[in-house]
Amino acid sequence: MELLDNLALGFATSLSWQNLLLCFLGVLLGTLVGVLPGIGPVATISMLLPITFVMPPVAALIMMAGIYYGTQYGGSTTAILINMPGEASSIVTALDGHQMARQGRAGTALATAAIGSFFAGTCATLLVALLAPPLTELALKVGSPEYFALMVLGLIASITLAQGSVMKALAMLVLGVLLGTVGQDLDSGTERFTFGLPELADGLEFVAMAMGLFGICEILRNLEIGRSRSPEVSAVGGLMPTREEFRQMVKPMLRGTALGSALGVLPGGGAILASFASYSLEKKLAEQPQRFGKGAIEGIAGPESANNAAAQTSFIPMLTLGIPASPVLALMIGALIVQGITPGPTVMLQQPALFWGLICSMWLGNAMLLVLNLPLVGIWVRLLTVRYHLLYPIIVGFCCIGVLSISNNVFHVYSLIGFGLIGYLLLRLDFEPAPLLLGFVIGPLLEVNFRRSLVLSAGDPIIFLERPATAAMLGLAALALIVAALPAMRRRRDHAFVE
């Protein structure tokens, strides 16, 4: 009964004209971002952060969430039609989706992606509504040592699941945590690492860092790579799958939804990991695995369901613990902190309208996406003809105006440019900036809980080993780091042996 009351509050909040409009704008913009390769949800939300500060927190969160899961839809459109995934999680969809399009079944492929995404998003939203309250109650009963250990485990898991070198990801994570210490000390008020600059007394500007590392950096990288896009698209054809195709879709959708829901709560690229895992699972279970890569409808239904379910359930650790499972959710947490709301288990009690309004808006957003995506296919494809040399200067100008509007301080514009150049340099050296942002957001919370734990134990660090739950989580974090580092250590040893 309590769940029904909470859902009623959530729908009352999300169905207000302002929140409904922002949800629509979020999913529409998310679809656009998913269609256009080279931008992505992280860069988009980074650029929109200044706008969210003048909105009510629930409205800002609903819009940003819509952008996040809307990109999962948009990325599949160009993956199917022109074999150009707009999002990394849509790479798998292109394998069979584009083959179906070449066979004159583009409409069926698009409908399969939309239906699978809507079904998975609906189920995952219900799962978030069911699991969030008990997890929140559990989170309220744990102390600072458990929170510290949980944050360490989450951060370590995020780098072990990330692509590329684990040690480089760990270095970025540590750098992010260190950058989070810039500013005044939490207890004494003493300035730390400000180098005499009064602009750094309150710490580094989160918006400038996010926009620079992802917005400006992505533009510089795309300009270097250069992109050739072909707007030539074959006829979409009929949209409704046949009865036999529906039968082939059902089981992959169910398995993809279950797999994506489970993997979504893991830190790192949950949606990407879920889509690849779903494709591998469907191929192994198929009676004719040779059909995959040649237009198998199961190769679309499973991964599309998995990546959308993962995008929804990734909100569980954010809503219940205040721990982001991805850089996008780290941006959302940063936006809430700027507005004076500390993410975590107390949000559900202190801000129930925000908590349940966001959950209910997810279902509304998925329904909007189902209606939006198929009729607007032609418009999305035409947008691919927009030349990047026109698009990118507009994005850079928007970033500068947005950062300047926060505090009318030119120093933050310099910070934006500096972080953009740093992000580009890091990418050239094969360092991913996403762990840096996660470390920067979680670092202050990590420090707070670490200090509180030491206060409880009168400065004795043994408190982290005395509590079973804390010791277990720290042990898992150490084990995950060792297991992730073993392949690199083995390759280095083999290379030294050959020499």
Band the pLDDT of 231: cuts 50, 70, 90. very low
Is pLDDT at 120 greater than 80 in this prediction?
Answer: yes
pLDDT grade for 499, boundaries at 50, 70 and 90: low
pLDDT digits (tens, 9 = 90+) for 429-477: 888 787 887 788 778 878 888 888 888 888 888 888 888 888 888 888 8
pLDDT, average across residues 207-228 = 74
Per the model's pLDDT, the better-predicted residue between 83 and 234 turns out to be 83
Compute the average pLDDT of residues 60-71: 85
- pLDDT, residue 87, reads 62
DSSP helix/strand/coil, 242: coil
CB 210 within 8 A of CB 437: yes
Contact 255, 278 (CB under 8 A): yes
Q: Which of 369, 302, 297, 380 is nearest to 114 (CA)?
A: 369
Secondary structure (DSSP) of 306-357? HHHHHHHHTHHHHHHHS--SSHHHHHHHHHHHHTT---STHHHHH-HHHHHH
Mean per-residue pLDDT over the chain, rounded = 78
Least confidently predicted of 38-47, 270-279, 321-330: 38-47
Pairing of strands 183-184, 191-192: antiparallel
pLDDT one-digit tens code per residue, 2-37 = 777 888 888 888 888 888 999 999 888 888 777 765
Q: How far apart are CA 498 and CA 239, in angstroms?
A: 57
Q: What distance in Å separates the CA atoms of residue 382 and residue 231, rounded to the nearest whole number? A: 7
pLDDT at 145 over 80: yes
Phi, psi angle pair for 183, to nearest 5°? 120, -155
DSSP string, 185-197: -TTT--EES-TT-
Q: Is pLDDT larger for residue 83 or for residue 153?
A: 153
pLDDT value at position 21?
92
Two tokens, residue 77: 């459109």
Specify the pLDDT at position 36: 67
> Which residues contact residue 98 at a Cβ distance below 8 angstroms, ignoring those fewer than 6 apart?
79, 80, 81, 82, 83
Could you give the percent of the chain with pLDDT greater than 90?
1
Domain membership of residue 116 as a residue range: 2-498
Q: Is the pLDDT reported for residue 247 higher than 80?
A: yes
| Residue for token pair 């690492």 | 193
Q: What is the token pair recorded at 490?
A: 């083995």
Element (H, E) at 446: helix 434-456
CA dist., res. 380 & res. 76, Å (int):
11
> How many CA within 13 A on the CB side of residue 2?
4
- Select from 18, 54, 69 the least CA-distant residue to 335: 54
- Residue 378's pLDDT band, with cuts at 50, 70 and 90, is low
The answer to whether the Cα torsion of 81, 28, 332, 400 is positive or negative is: positive
From the list 396, 48, 34, the residue with the least C-alpha distance to 219 is 396
Query: 187-191, 227-231, 400-404 — which is least confidently predicted?
Result: 227-231
Specify the number of domains making up the chain.
1
How high is the pLDDT of residue 232? 46
Mean pLDDT, rounded, for 163-188 = 82
Q: How many CB atoms lie within 10 A of CB 180?
A: 20
Give the contacts of 472 (CB within 8 A, at least 6 positions apart): none
* Burial category of 58 from C-beta neighbours within 10 Å (exposed 0-12, middle 13-18, buried 19 and up): buried
